[in-house]
Every structure is written in C-alpha cells, then in structure tokens.
Amino acid sequence: MPTSPADLEFAGRHYETGSLANALALRGAVAPHTGQPYSEALLLAISGGIALGYFVFEYQGYLPHLALLTRNTFDPLDTLLDRLALPREVCQTTTPKQAEANLTAALAAGQTPLVWADMASLPYNGLRKQADIWAMIPLVVLGRAGDDYWVADRARRALRVPAADLLAARGRVKQTRYKLLTIEPPDPARLPAALTQGLRQCLSLFTEPPPKGAVDNFGFAAFARWAHLLTNTRHKQSWARMFAPGARLYQALAGTPQQPGLYTWIMTWTTGGDADRGVFADALDEGAKLLKRPALRAAAKHFRAGAAAWHALAESALPASAPLLRESRELADRRHALFMEQAPGALEARQQIDARLAEIRAEAAEAFPLSEAEVTELLADLSRQVTVIAAIEREGVEALGAALA
C-alpha cells in the first residue's frame, strides 16, 4: 500500500455497503458517471435501498427489545455483488491455521480482502461478549503489523486488532467461519441495470409482500402496525404491555451498546443518522444522472423530508425535558462519534460512557423519569410522528415509481 493504514481515511459507514465501498476504493475503482470512488449511497440503492421492518422480540432472560430495520435486509451484500457482477473469489476453511494462511496469501498478493467477524469479539468495539449472542459482519483487512492486523470497519480511520482476536472473531459462527472474499472493480456497463433493479426492489419492499416474514412487519403495513401498537393498550405486543415504564421502556427507547433502542436504531446504526433516508436521497440524485432520469431528484426531495422527520422522531424518543433521557441521547451521540473518529483514547472514553449508561439504565429501572401521564403523551406523540413519516414516504415511493415508469 502507498501509505501506512494508519494514515488512510474511509468513507464507508455501514458494515455491508460501507465495507464494500471501502474495498472498491482500495482497489482503485471509480464510477463512470462521477470519476470518483463508488459512493456508499449508490451501493445502498443497488443493494435494494431503504425499507421499514418493525419487530418486537422477548427472549427468556432478556428484556424485550425493538428491532427497527431501515434498509433492505434480504441478503443485500450478495444481492449487490450479483447485480454488479463483481469479479470475486471466496475462500473458506474450517481450520484456523488455513484461515491465517488464506489471509496472508491474499495480503501478499496485494489484495484488501473482506472477512467476516463477530462484532463482540473485536476489542475495539468495546462490547460485552455473550455466549448466546453474536453478530458476524464483513470488514476489510488492510495489512499486518507485527502481531496485529489493520482493518477498515465503519470508522473513518483504520483500526488495529490483535491477530489472535481477529482469528477468534472470524471463527465464531459456522456459516461464515473463516470466510474470505477478494474482489475486483465492477464492469461500469452493469451500473444502470443494477441500479434500476435495486430501486425496483426498494419499491416492492414498501408495497408488496416481503420475500419472507409477515406482511405487516414490512413497508407501509409495518408503519400502520407500529403506530397502532404505540397507543393500543390491549394488544399483547402493544408498547403499553411490552414496554412498561422502567427498564423495559428505557430499553425500547434508548437501548444498550449491544442492543439498539428506537433512538440508536435511527441515529447510530444507520449510514447517515436518519434511518438511511438522507443517504438514499443522495443515491437518487446520483441516479438521476446515471440513469438520465431527472424525475429521481423529485423523489429525493421527499426522502430528504423523511430524513428530517426520522431525526425528529429519534429526538422525541429521548426528550430533552427529561434530564436522564436527554443525557442518554447525548452519551449515545458521543459514543458513536468517538468510534467514528477513532481519536486517541476513544475506546477508554467509550467504556466510561458505557459505565454511565449502565448507571442511567439502573436509575430508569428504579424510577422512570416520566410520569404515567407523560409516558402516555410520549407514546401518542411517537405514534403521530410515525404516521407522518409514513405519509411522507408514501409520496416518496409514488414519486420513485413514477420516475422509473
């Protein structure tokens, strides 16, 4: 590599679209319509774009939690690779020794391979490793320095991880155990068709039955279900029954570093901090030029309005009028920013934040910082805002469909 990995900066933010954007940039790939590296926004759109999936889960021994899916989650990375017909090679083995040999060979050949690793097993994430919970994500390996590897993983700067920890993280789950992927730049001629396919899939995820799962967990049906459950007090999955004030409601609103809540699903687990809507609007603006369809810019305006509405929803979930909830929001933002920037001492600072967040969770469990009437008002407000977002995005989806007609 021409410079030390420590000197590089990375634009990719999501572990799938961002990691692929980083890998393509490192391979020197540039988009024909911009002359710049392939943007993560464009890759998001090709992968299937944005979506809405709404789920509530409760497992024995854990608090119930919210799962809010803001982008296509039906094999988006494989879909993206296939639509672009990226030249690629996959190596996978069952043995740690061969896994190390495969990685060493790829780096020696000048590649910057993608490998899959468990988030909680990577020390720089500062997450508590649990025997029954894991999250395997792709990241880019940049090179080796002594007993460590340099990797690109969502942050703006390269991250250094001990080789033994990376190997253990790669071997956590059988399905992706020691998987390694090397890629070459895509054929630019594939771009228009790939983007059109991705945008059409995005439309279908809002308006048609999903590839799998219940219909009312996805798209506009999910918006309606979510708005209803926020205020309904009798349904077994209503927020009144699933997320009673205390530890349960705090989990749903703020979450933990391991399990997001409403605020963090929208603001820190997405590419742009607004349920991915702003970055999707960027993709539509880019697509207007690539596909020679100016009407995509009109659709983009709707999704930018949606981005602002999602941002407002997130802030309403942790209202500034309640000091403990406001502090939770501020700490979540600070924790995320520290990871993104990777300044010296970032891990220690995030661990201090985690300790304070644990104290706040205990305080909220003991005495939730809103009265019963205030909780009722909060949930009603969130329900209204979800309905507003649904209306904005319906207009956006209609405009997108018209632009592609």
Give the phi and the psi of residue 182 in degrees, each rounded to 5: -115, 145
- The pLDDT, as a whole number, for residue 61 is 87
Q: Is 49 exposed, middle or buried (0-12, 13-18, 19+ CB in 10 A)?
A: buried
- Check residue 131 and give its pLDDT: 81
CA angle 272-273-275, nearest 5°? Answer: 90
Is residue 135 helix, strand or coil?
Answer: coil
| Residue 17 host element (H or E) | helix 17-26
Give 182-200 pLDDT, tens digit per residue. 999 999 999 999 999 999 9
- Is residue 8 within 8 A of residue 142, CB to CB? The reply is yes
The predicted pLDDT at position 121 comes to 96
Least confident of 94-103, 342-351, 387-396: 342-351
Q: Which residues contact 192 (CB under 8 A, 6 or more apart)?
A: 290, 291
**pLDDT digit string (tens) for 38-75?**
999 999 999 999 999 999 999 988 999 999 999 999 99
What is the full DSSP assignment across 346-396? HHHHHHHHHHHHHHHHHHHHHS-SS-HHHHHHHHHHHHHHHHHHHHHHHHH
**pLDDT tens digits, residue range 254-270?**
999 999 999 999 999 99
Residue 2 has pLDDT above 60, yes or no: no
Q: What is the mean pLDDT of the chain?
A: 96
Alpha-carbon distances of 285 from 43, 274, 308, 314, 373, rounded to whole Å: 13, 17, 17, 25, 44
pLDDT of residue 130: 83
- pLDDT at residue 344 greater than cutoff 90: no
CA-nearest of 186, 153, 177, 175 to 82 is 186
| pTM: predicted TM-score of the whole model, two decimal places | 0.96
Whole-angstrom distance, CA of residue 401 vs CA of residue 203: 7
pLDDT tens-digit readout, 94-117: 999 999 999 999 999 999 999 999
Confidence at residue 4, expressed as pLDDT on a 0 to 100 scale: 87
Spatial distance between the Cα atoms of 14 and 87, rounded to a whole number of angstroms: 22
pLDDT, tens only, 124-180: 999 988 888 899 999 999 999 999 999 999 999 999 999 999 999 999 999 999 999
Listed residue (296, 260, 301) closest to 278, CA to CA: 301
DSSP conformation letters of 262-302: HHHHHHTSSSSSSTTHHHHHHHHHHHHHHTT-THHHHHHHH
- Per the CB < 8 A criterion, the answer to whether 35 and 64 are in contact is no
* Domain residue spans of the chain: 5-30+88-183, 191-404
Q: What is the pLDDT of residues 268-301, one digit of tens each?
A: 999 888 999 999 999 999 999 999 999 999 999 9
| CB 21, CB 12: distance < 8 Å | yes
pLDDT tens string 24-39: 999 999 999 999 999 9
Q: What is the pLDDT of residue 261?
A: 98
Q: How many H helices and E strands in the chain?
A: 15, 8
The answer, yes or no, to whether residue 401 has pLDDT greater than 50, is yes
Helix (H) or strand (E) holding 54: strand 50-57
Confidence at residue 119, expressed as pLDDT on a 0 to 100 scale:
96
> What is the arrangement of strands in the sheet containing 180-183, beginning at the earlier edge strand?
88-91, 180-183, 114-118, 136-145, 148-152, 159-162
Among the listed residues 357, 271, 355, the one whose alpha carbon sits nearest the alpha carbon of residue 307:
271
Q: What is the dihedral of CA 302, 216, 75, 36, to 10 degrees?
A: 0
Q: How far apart are CA 243 and CA 226, in angstroms?
A: 13
The per-residue pLDDT for 255 is 97
Take residue 335 and report the two structure tokens written for it.
């924790």
Tell me, what's the pLDDT at 1? 44
